[in-house]
């Protein structure tokens, strides 16, 4: 195993998938105190999410597909971070194609990213003796069960790996297995954050995601069609709270591995839609539609471990988070209409 590198002034931190929705917010938080290397190939992300960071001397973007091997010390643009001498101290691994509307297009990429891509990231971690935090998902717990609405980290994972979304769902579970294997064999300090439904600015506006669709309909004054029963409920955690939890998780001792991050509070989906129409001052009507794809909400996270170990709880009120999303959506729509 490589000799542990000496930190000169700032840590060198790699964020894969750093141009995505959550990844770009993570880069924003980390670049304040560290050197951030953002790696992405823009398969389902956008340069607009990190454009404001490109001139920051403590930030560097690398366009690379992690399904291909990489050596950060070979990039001349990273010489100012002294990567050859200092190495990489931390890796936040978020890279995974995510597109609700175009999921079929990225199935093979999803399988490869959640297998060989994870291996390549962990090989870099081994070479640098870097800590790794992996952005996993609440989908591992399977659909919410009436007898167990809350799930804790020690609960079994129930998923059907042969569904049309198996490339993502099983991919996340397999990725966790790879991480644990590398931890066992190489002594890596790996963290697994199982992230529940997250919302906020930089979510894709026109990709079939629930909240952006509601906001777009409200801004346009068109009917808000909810493909769910009238008593459907939803839990929402704002992206800045998730980022805070991930950073706290990375800083825990090596004994801490899996932690749930999300909101354990839920509200009626109709109430969320009504809140959006009120904030937008929209005349949109809320309608419920029968769907061939039943509305399914994952189990709620038991946050006992997050509270006790990370000292973490979600702080952003849903109304405040929605207000920021609405402002972002209006701004982005105006920019797109200008071209």
Residues labelled catalytic? 168
38 three-class SS? strand
Residue 112's CB: how many other CB atoms inside 10 A?
Answer: 19
Those residues whose C-beta lies under 8 Å from the C-beta of residue 107, and which sit 6 or more positions away, are 167
Question: What gap in Å lies between CA 107 and CA 271, rounded to an integer?
Answer: 34
Question: What gap in Å lies between CA 165 and CA 151, rounded to an integer?
Answer: 21
Question: What gap in Å lies between CA 289 and CA 286, rounded to an integer?
Answer: 10
Length of the chain in residues, anyone?
Answer: 339
The β-bridge relationship of strands 190-195 and 131-137 is parallel
Which long-range CB contacts under 8 A does 58-61 form with residues at least 24 apart?
58/10, 58/31, 58/34, 59/27, 59/31, 59/35, 60/35, 60/36, 61/18, 61/19
């Amino acid at each position: 195993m490589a000799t542990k590198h000496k930190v000169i002034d700032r840590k060198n931190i790699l964020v894969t998938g750093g141009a995505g929705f959550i990844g770009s917010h993570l880069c924003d938080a980390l670049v304040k105190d560290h050197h951030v290397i953002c790696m992405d190939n823009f398969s389902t992300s956008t340069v607009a999410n990190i454009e404001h960071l490109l001139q920051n001397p403590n930030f560097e973007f690398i366009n690379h597909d992690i399904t291909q091997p990489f050596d950060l010390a070979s990039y001349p643009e990273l010489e100012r971070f002294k990567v050859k001498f200092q190495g990489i101290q931390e890796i936040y691994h978020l890279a995974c194609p995510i597109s609700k509307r175009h999921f079929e297009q990225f199935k093979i990429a999803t399988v490869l990213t959640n297998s060989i891509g994870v291996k390549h990231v962990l090989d870099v971690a081994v070479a640098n003796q870097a800590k790794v935090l992996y952005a996993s998902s609440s989908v591992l717990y399977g659909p919410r069960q009436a007898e167990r609405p809350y799930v804790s980290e020690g609960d079994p994972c129930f998923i059907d790996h042969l569904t049309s979304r198996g490339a993502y769902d099983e991919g996340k579970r397999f990725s966790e297995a790879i991480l644990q294997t590398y931890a066992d064999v190489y002594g890596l300090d790996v963290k697994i954050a199982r992230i529940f439904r997250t919302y906020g600015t930089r979510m894709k506006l026109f990709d079939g995601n629930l909240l952006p669709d509601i906001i777009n309909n409200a801004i346009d004054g068109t009917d808000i069609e909810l493909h769910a029963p009238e008593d459907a409920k939803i839990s929402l955690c704002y992206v800045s709270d998730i980022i805070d939890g991930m950073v706290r998780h990375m800083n825990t001792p090596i004994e801490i591995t899996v932690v749930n991050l999300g909101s354990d509070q839920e509200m009626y989906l109709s109430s969320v839609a009504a809140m959006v129409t009120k904030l937008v001052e929209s005349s949109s009507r809320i309608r419920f539609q029968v769907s061939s794809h039943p509305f399914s909400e994952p189990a709620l996270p038991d946050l006992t471990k997050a509270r006790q170990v990370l000292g973490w709880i979600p702080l952003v009120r849903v109304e405040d988070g929605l207000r920021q999303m609405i402002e972002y959506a209006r701004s982005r729509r105006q920019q797109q209409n200008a071209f």
